[in-house]
Amino acid sequence: MENSYMAAVVALGTATPDREVLMEAYARNYGDNMGLPPDQILLAERICSKAGIGRKYLAIPFERYSEESPNDFPRLNKRLAWYEEEAVGLAEKAARQAIEEWGGLLYEITHIIVYSTSGALSPGLDLRLIKRLGLSSSTKHFWVAFNGCHAGIMGLRTAAEIARGAGPATRVLVVWVEINSCQAQSSDPASSPANNIVVASIFGDGSAAAIVAHPSYSTSASSSPPIPHLFEVQDATSDYIDGPESAEAIVARVRETGLYAGLSKQVPELIEAHVDAFSSGMLEDMQLTYNSVNWIVHPGGRAIVDAVQNGCHLQDNQLELSRKILNDYSNMGAPTIIFTLKLLHAEHVKCRKSLEWVFALAFGPGISMEGMILRLP
């Protein structure tokens, strides 16, 4: 009999650049190399001290900005060259970790989807990874750019829908990679200096990968043990916060000086006002409650996690995994929620104290909202 859930997440992989930066020294390093005046360096230090981030990992050190473009801020072509140098290898590292954890054969991977907002290449990362990983040349491939932080759940949802619909042999490799350090912005007088400092402070670099299979993957002959998998994808829902305030609250714009990311001060307020209705609606449909699920919220920043906690009236311990990933890695964009899911599974394996059900939640431009209900087998 066919399983009732959408798909099985059978492996997760994560990777960061080798360069670790402690936040206590980050603001000064950023400010000195970006040519910030003393008052804005002090602003950066205040932002970093309240960000809920202890460290982050960067592929592009800020020294490269001052060394390679001493008389002009790096243009888009330079930034995309930096992205190409770093993104392919980091994505490959996360993908190989997921493939190794899965233990299957490379030719069994039928689809690959790659998500990235911090840069773009042609040929895309999808085709480059097929070649570097040694996947079949007939692997169906997709390259999705400029989605934002909610692409972590979006990618799992899309992979689950493909796996469910394409048949029992389907194995979808999803890869997320962000090199946010190649898009750092200085205090451009034409934009908001505070916005650029906030974005540079909360974002880091990282990559994640998942292998998602048809539900029958977990079914074996009655005489054999179940085939192991990490999560069952039970349901997924998309929505957005409507209104003029939300439409431009989270944006990304490609400019001559690189990718400009805009974050309105109203984002936490808007999320706090709307997250309860979205979350409760999803959970009630599955006859679940806020206290019967593990909460996995994309740690887009301390204020975002606080907004979810306040809007849904959650206890501190319900969001401790999201806060831990934020502290240990920063907001890496879409890969971040996969890091959080991987941590939840590791904790579950170690102590088996986790609840059976998982509610994953992320936000992106629009303001888009992505929710997913999973189950730990």
Q: What DSSP line would sit under 328-343, residue for residue? A: HH-B-STHHHHHHHHH
- DSSP secondary structure of 220-251: --TTSPPPP-SEEEEEEEEEE--SHHHHTTEE
Distance CA 9, CA 227 (A): 12
Helix (H, G, I), strand (E, B) or coil at 360: strand
Residue 20 · residue 205 · CB < 8 Å: no
Amino acid identity, residue 96? R
CA distance 295 to 364: 18
Could you list the active site residues? 149
From the list 346, 363, 350, 103, the residue with the least C-alpha distance to 211 is 103
C-alpha separations of 168 from 104, 174, 216 in Å = 15, 18, 6
